[in-house]
Every structure is written in structure tokens, then in C-alpha cells.
A = this chain, B = another copy of it.
């Protein structure tokens, strides 16, 4: 894993952990519940991915650095508490940001593990939506994945597919990655507004 990939992965963990801590705050869990839910969401999708590619101990357990983003997210949410309405909006933004990063890093990690391009894109999709599904299922909410409003799985699958294609034809670099992430994030946010 390169430094760029690690930074992207940690940023994705942080964004998802923020979405978990925000949901915890909206549901009035205490700070420990917030840390637990943030950690589940932030690390859940990646652990699922690492279990599927069978790489031995998942990154989240091998490197303690993965525990920092959920702690940071919990502290931020509890330090800057806001109105319930703002929680919901911020949750969606952080969730979209996490998804935009994880569909790329998940696909790349799956390709490096030797999966074929189609399977790698599917696993990228699972990394990208897995954490959010765990968040909503554990907190007894209807998963965002199934809301008819807004493109969610489609956006993640598009990002994962583009990543898989770009890697296959050798076009993947920091610029391409950034472009895909921005596209996925924009698609998700715009679709929520105009549908």
C-alpha cells in the first residue's frame, strides 16, 4: 500500500466515522456509543473487504493508526454539537465523501490482491457501501443504500468500475483518482438535490 493509498484510506475511515458519530448524536447515544458506532462504520467496510480477499489480519487491526480517525470523529462531533437538522445534512455529506474514497481504494486493494477487474469493482462497491449499511442496520435505521431517493449504489459502482478500468489500461494516477472521487461525490450530492 502506497502513502497516497494509506492517506485516502484513512480519510475514508474518518468520513465514515463522522457519519457514524453524527447518527449516534442524533439518536442520543452517549460518547462511548458514538465511538463504537463511528468505529464500526469507519472500519466495517474495510474489514469486510480484507476478509474477502483473504489477506490475513485486516489492515484495521494490523496498524493501530486506523483507530485514530474514529476517535477524532467522536471528539469533533461531541465538541461541536449542533441542531438535529444539521446532523442529518452533515451525515449525508460525510457519508458521500467516505463512499467516494472507499470505492477507489477498495477496488485498488482488490486488484492488488489478484481479483479479476469485475470482481474487484464489486468488492470496491462493497467496501464503499458496507460501512454505511452496517451503520444503519446496527442503529436500526432503514439503510441509505435502499432509499429510492438519490443515486447511491450506482455512484459507488461507477467509481469502482472507472477505477478498475483505469487501472487495467494503466491510466490510474493521483489526478485520475481525484477526478473519480470528485465525480462520485458530486453525483451523489447532486442526485440528492434534484430527485
Contacts and interface: CB of A to CB of B under 8 A. Distances in A.
Interface of A: 24, 27-30, 32-33, 35-37, 47, 51-54, 56-58, 61-62, 64, 67, 113-116, 118-119, 122-123, 129, 133, 137-140, 142-143, 145-148, 151-154
A146 B36 contact: yes
The prevalent SS among residues of A at the interface is: helix
Given A57-B54, A57-B115, A61-B119, A142 B145 contact: no
B56 A54 contact: yes
Nearest to A30: B148
Given A140-B140, A154-B32, A146 B37 contact: yes
Number of copies: 3
Given A32-B152, A32-B154, A62-B119, 13 more contacts: A29-B146, A29-B148, A32-B153, A33-B147, A35-B153, A36-B129, A47-B52, A52-B61, A57-B114, A61-B119, A61-B123, A62-B115, A137-B137
Contact of A146 (B33, B56, B58, B64): B33
A142 to B, nearest CB: 6
A73 to B, nearest CB: 16
A144 to B, nearest CB: 10
B52 A54 contact: no
A43 B64 CA distance: 26
Given A57-B52, A57-B53, A137-B137, A67 B122 contact: yes
